Amino acid sequence: MWNSGIIAEILGGRLYGSESAYFKGCVIDSRAAFEGVLFTAIRGEKTDGHLFINKAFEAGASIALAETRSLGELGLPVIPAGKAIIAVEDSLRALQDLARAWRKTLDPVVIGITGSCGKTTTKDMTAAVLAKSFKVHKNLENHNNEIGLPLTILNAPAGTEIMVLEMGMRGLGQIRALCHICSPSVAVITNIGTTHLELLGSQENIAKAKWELVAALSEGGIAVLNAEDAFSVNKAAAADVKKVFYGISGKYASPDVYAVNIHSSGTLTTCFEVVSGEDRAEVRLPLPGEHNVLDALAALSVGLAKGVSLAEGAKALEEMELSKMRLEIQQGVFGSTIINDVYNANPTSMKASLHVLAERGGAKTIAVLGEMYELGDSAVPGHRDVGRTAAKLGINTLITVGKMAEDIAQGASEAGFPVSGLHVCSECAEAASLAKSLIKEMGSDVWILIKGSRGMRMERVSGALCQEE
């Protein structure tokens, strides 16, 4: 096992204190420190982690990773007996280098997952499927960036056989940099949409950025790709790797793993039969919507590639734990049912959730929809397309939240949505109050979808509507 002396040698850092302080994971928040953990002090926009080294030691941290410049400015903290500080030039770079070294030490199979939407759900499903046969470690929530991914790796326990790593990006070169840290041998791309369009300028650039994951595959790597996604299929034509396609209709490529007989069951469950060659299995997925069937097919495809049978994978999906704030069903006020899907949003996921509301909600449906960010020039058409979808699906009442979301109402109106059912709100409290009044007026058995980009904090609406009367 590693200790402070080994870590200092790996990083070429200067060691202060004990050479034998042991390593048991990594944190960047002193409040999350525990016995034996390495605390990495990072300079942030709002605070400087170097100010909290003593707090981390008090909480049990055995090692602190810090920058030489900051230690010179602030002074070397008192180092308790048996503990250590390792000084480096750049603590974030050191964190990443250390994660790369820990991955080499553990030598697991690495599954990389990216896409414009569905990344986190696919990551959770893939980890659940693989856990049937392997010791699996995955990102917590969406810890998928230049800090979260190395932290995930450094917190992988000894004996980890497979890492399932979600990878986010906000520009070209970022996924390539993450791949340099983790060296994936399997790449999953859920889809290539318009999220981050304002940052990358075109869907072609988004595809190029996502494709860095496939380009980084080690020799003998496998790309698991969505047969319903045109950009993925087009990019795959020139990729010199083994390709596995999954899908439902096979719109752009013939899927190797596909779903048939899809139907809903109960409040949440979606049932289908998964097929791969002569192999078949019945799946009871505890999530609604065909978009989640696609995510499940991606996970089952990875499982097959690593020797997990369809039957074993199907059982794992049925038993998997669901993430919070993603199509989370909650009891609402006045006998209503809340679909709390507020973790994030883009036009594709927003329309998919509206389909779930229409499918499950029946005759009494309310959609409370907030702004969608990072759409660039597609912001207006993207919001309006969501509104048109709400009208097409026959949603009873539409409440929009925020200035940009007014284009959702505009799109709905243009598509024939009844004016009496359209409501435009400027902020969450107003939307929650209005929704509560409408639910009371409509009577019991109302279904309400609440969704918007993370920055909208739409959980303020769902929280208000889930309060007991």
Cite the annotated binding site by residue number. 115-121
Closest CA to 408 of 439, 440, 372, 437: 372
Could you give the 3-state DSSP secondary structure of residue 429? helix
Contacts of 420 (CB under 8 A, 6+ apart): none
One-letter amino acid for residue 51 of the chain:
L
One-letter amino acid for residue 112 of the chain:
G
Closest CA to 397 of 360, 361, 430, 351: 361
Contacts of 179 (CB under 8 A, 6+ apart): 112, 167, 212, 213, 216
How crowded is residue 114: how many other Cβ atoms within 10 Å of its Cβ?
28
Closest CA to 448 of 342, 343, 332, 344: 332
**Separation between Cα atoms, residue 291 and residue 301, nearest integer Å:** 16
How crowded is residue 77: how many other Cβ atoms within 10 Å of its Cβ?
20
Sheet holding 26-27, edge to edge: 14-17, 84-88, 63-67, 38-40, 26-27
Exposure of 450 in the CB half-sphere (CA atoms within 13 A): 30
DSSP codes of every residue in 319-387: HPPPPTTSSEEEE-GGG-EEEE--S---HHHHHHHHHHHHHHHTT-EEEEEE---S-GGGHHHHHHHHH
Give binding residues for ATP as ranges. Answer: 115-121
- In SS3 terms, 78-124 reads as CCCCCCEEEEECCHHHHHHHHHHHHHHHHCCEEEEEECCCCHHHHHH
Token pair in block for residue 444:
């019991």
